[in-house]
Amino acid sequence: MILTASGNIHNSLEGMAAGRAAGYNGQVDFPHALRERRTRRHLSQLDLALRAGTTQRHLSFIESGRSAPGRDMVVRLAESLELPLRERNELLLAAGYAPAYPESSLDDPALAPARTAIGHILTGHLPYPALVVDRHGDVVAANEALDLLTEGADPGLVGPGTNAYRLALHPHGMAPRILNFAEWARHILERTRQLEDLHAELTQYVPESEPPAGHLGFSVPLRLQTSRGELRLMTTVTTFATAVDVTLAELKLEAFLPADQPGLSTAEALQRSGHASTGPR
């Protein structure tokens, strides 16, 4: 069965608009918010204007506060900046408009097709481990093969609503069995930089060290000692690129695949783990 994150995170468009009406005081600096997002993406005013189908002069007036954009213009600018849905809603709020994209609970009937798709993907990836996390890295769903990766971990670090990044680096989690812990920890910490509180916590579990010679950054295999021997795994991350719901758009499906040659220990160990015909949990 699919695991859903704990808590009710449902926000209808009406509810989000009501929150805006209660908390929006007219002092939100939309020009600054737009300019900050444009410069963060290294776009000139002309670049963004061309993408959004407007003129550089008009965009300059918007960024200086001399012109107030209509709702459609804000949507076009957000799309042209390729902002995540959550940031598009934030930009609309900053301009004084209601959000355009709903944020639903994962158990909302509207997301039933997505939950079914997640289940199919997790089952189809067996016998290899796979899990789905939300924007905080909290586990939403996983297949049975993940048990081999998490064996021996404190039960409080495993399961629905627990954090996958904390599980990886916590001394009572997977950390004692990760044979290339320094490299893998650096890889995890890079992925959590935007999650400030979690990043600060995880940093305490990782000893300071310099990257080794030949360090390849994001291209780091996981070397994990298990009851079936050493596993060498690489990961892939999949997202719902066409989602129009904030919650769905922020889900990430992380799948593990053997990183050694066909016929060597990792693939054999996973094939023998007994999860070839079981599904997501």
Give the number of other CB atoms < 10 A from CB of residue 199.
16
Q: Are residues 142 and 28 in the same domain?
A: no
The pLDDT assigned to 16 comes to 37
Q: Are residues 89 and 140 in the same domain?
A: no
Classify residue 31: in a domain, yes or no.
Answer: yes
Q: Are residues 125 and 250 in the same domain?
A: yes
Q: Looking at per-residue confidence, does 243 or 83 come out higher? A: 83
pLDDT tens-digit map of 13-63: 334 333 433 333 344 589 999 999 999 999 999 999 999 999 999 999 999
Q: Provide the whole-model pTM.
A: 0.78
CATH number at residue 81: 1.10.260.40
Classify residue 44: in a domain, yes or no.
Answer: yes
Classify residue 276: in a domain, yes or no.
Answer: no
Give the chain's mean pLDDT. 85
How big is the CA angle at 232 (ends 227 and 238), to the nearest 5 degrees? 115
Q: Are residues 56 and 132 in the same domain?
A: no
Q: Are residues 113 and 88 in the same domain?
A: no
For 103, how many CA atoms within 13 A lie in the half-sphere containing its CB? 21
The pLDDT assigned to 264 comes to 58
- Euclidean distance between CA atoms 189 and 144, whole angstroms: 26
Q: Are residues 185 and 141 in the same domain?
A: yes
Q: 């301009």: which residue's tokens?
A: 95
Q: Are residues 124 and 250 in the same domain?
A: yes
- pLDDT grade for 4, boundaries at 50, 70 and 90: very low
Say whether the peptide bond before residue 127 is cis (omega within 30 degrees of 0): yes
- Which domain covers residue 72, as residue numbers? 13-94
Domain count, the chain: 2
Classify residue 68: in a domain, yes or no.
Answer: yes
- pLDDT grade for 271, boundaries at 50, 70 and 90: confident
Classify residue 100: in a domain, yes or no.
Answer: no
- pLDDT grade for 160, boundaries at 50, 70 and 90: confident
Classify residue 101: in a domain, yes or no.
Answer: no
Query: Cα-Cα-Cα-Cα dihedral of 219, 224, 230, 236, to 10°?
Result: -40
The pLDDT assigned to 232 comes to 93
Strand order in the sheet with 229-239: 139-142, 130-133, 252-258, 229-239, 222-226
CATH number at residue 194: 3.30.450.180
pLDDT tens-digit map of 175-222: 999 999 988 998 899 889 999 999 999 999 998 766 555 555 555 789
pLDDT tens-digit map of 220-233: 789 999 998 899 99
Q: Helix H segments across the chain?
A: 13-23, 30-40, 45-52, 56-64, 71-80, 85-94, 112-125, 146-150, 164-169, 181-191, 196-203, 246-249, 265-271
